[in-house]
Amino acid sequence: MTYCLGILLTSGLVMAADSRSNAGIDDFTSVYKLDLIDVPGKRVIVILSAGNLATTQSVITQLREYSDHGGPRDLHKVKTMYEAAKAVGDTLREVIARDGSYVAPYGSAAGSFIVGGQIAGEAPRLFQIYTAGNFIEASPRSRYLQLGETKYGKPILDRALRFDSPLDQAAKLALLSFDAAMRSDLSVAMPIDILRYEADSFCSTNRASLEKDDPYWSALRTAYGDGLAALVERLPPPPDWSA
């Protein structure tokens, strides 16, 4: 599987992806599922990928080639994040039209993406691109988007994430959401690539690849586990229903 998460906030964006790719439990490797296109001071575009690795890599590489040679899908030039999402969707359609029927006998060529970022003149925006190439946009009401192994990591976001949560708070929640997914699904694994983007900064340097032994990651998990156990302990016990 895969787990990718994009969070839209008044304060910016948190974008994160795991890095496991596998073709069966006896055949896995570590890949990049977070790609970044940026022009410092002007635009930051982050693309998270899930699905068939050949498909998603082709989409990213093709988009980079379009950017190198100009043209309508040049992510260095698109005027809005909506255009960026459309460029990803159109390129996905192109790759699936090229490879889909050849791949079908062996499995699915499907891929999907989360595209988040900010282009000068707009607020930060966040989109999810389906394998059909169409897409939806996040809003204050649906303020995060997920790909892949989405269920384990959802409750903590629904309970504690708000549209006006500070960026640091959202980054903690994103990592705890990944921890929930990784505890139950071996096909979601470290390192986690994570980027905190502060609205209107047009700067993408606050990012990291967290390995299993990362000290912050370890401290966060331990403190959360201990805190949760203590919290449940403090909650009122159920009444005696025999009475």
Q: Sheet harboring 111-119: ordered strands across? A: 34-39, 43-51, 111-119, 125-129, 135-137
Q: How many residues can be counted in the chain?
A: 243
Structure token digits, residue 59 = 């989409």
213 binds its own copies (CB under 8 A): no
Do the Cβ atoms of 12 and 172 come closer than 8 Å? no
Do the Cβ atoms of 99 and 62 come closer than 8 Å? no
> Min. distance of Cβ 154 from its own copies in angstroms?
6
- The backbone torsions φ and ψ at residue 166, rounded to the nearest 5 degrees and listed phi first, read -65, 155
Which residues between 124 and 183 bind its own copies (CB under 8 A)? 151-156, 158-160, 168-169, 171-173, 175-176, 180, 183
State how far the Cα of 2 lies from the Cα of 19, in Å rounded to an integer.
7
121 binds its own copies (CB under 8 A): no
36 binds its own copies (CB under 8 A): no
Nearer to its own copies, 66 or 197 (CB): 197
1 binds its own copies (CB under 8 A): no
> Min. distance of Cβ 206 from its own copies in angstroms?
5
Residues near its own copies (CB under 8 A) are 151-156, 158-160, 168-169, 171-173, 175-176, 180, 183-184, 196, 203, 205-208, 216, 219-220, 223-225, 227-229, 231-242
